[in-house]
Amino acid sequence: MLYLDTSALIKQYVREPGTERISARLQEEFVTGRSVFTSVLAFAEVHAALVQRRNDKSLSNRTFLLCRRNFETDWQSSFSVVALDSSVLLIVREVVELNLKGADAVHLASAVWLRDSVALGALPDVNAGSVTFATSDKKLAKAALTKKLSVFIPEDHP
């Protein structure tokens, strides 16, 4: 199963390096029936990134509205959302020691929580398997590796 931080998730909606690889990976996950996860935090982060691109004119208003609509549709129908609750917050306290920014720590803690919950059988509706952490942030990718997560960097060549 795949966990997306916002730097990977945004590539599904805005064309940038790694867009093709993240789209292909998402298609693979959906076709095989594997769940795709992200943190509830990604909702605000993707919206903020889209507004920033509209404001800096890298997205037209029309494209912005289309991207926003596509994201909100996928949010409702395609992604499983990890809540920012006390069990994730306990892990945040630990992963910030890896010198991460707050939002990055939330994403990494959410993926660690997901991995551990699947391993314990605490998520019965989720197809069991390893969790792959998708990110475009090299520092966050390195931190995920220290937490024993496999990492997918969309910009890296296959």
Q: What is the pLDDT of residue 120?
A: 84
Q: What is the pLDDT of residue 125?
A: 60
Interval 62-75 mean pLDDT:
97
Q: What is the pLDDT of residue 48?
A: 98
- Chain Cα centroid distance, residue 56: 24
Degrees, nearest 5: CA angle 132-119-22: 15
Q: What is the pLDDT of residue 119?
A: 85
For the chain, list the domains and their CATH numbers.
2-152 (3.40.50.1010)
Q: What is the pLDDT of residue 59?
A: 96
Q: What is the pLDDT of residue 124?
A: 62
Residue 143 CA to residue 151 CA, distance in Å, equals 10
Q: What is the pLDDT of residue 149?
A: 96
Q: What is the pLDDT of residues 35-50, one digit of tens each?
A: 899 999 999 999 999 9
> What does the DSSP assignment read for 56-74?
TTSS-HHHHHHHHHHHHHH
Q: What is the pLDDT of residues 88-128, one digit of tens each?
A: 999 999 999 999 999 999 999 999 999 999 888 777 666 66
- CA–CA distance from 158 to each of 9, 18, 154 (Å)? 18, 11, 9
Q: Are the C-beta atoms of 132 and 152 separated by less than 8 Å? A: yes
Q: Does 64 have pLDDT greater than 80?
A: yes
- CA–CA distance from 80 to each of 52, 66, 74 (Å)? 25, 22, 10
Q: What is the pLDDT of residue 128?
A: 60
Q: Does 13 have pLDDT greater than 80?
A: yes
Q: What is the pLDDT of residue 28?
A: 93
Read off the pLDDT band of 136 (50, 70, 90): very high
Q: What is the pLDDT of residue 122?
A: 74
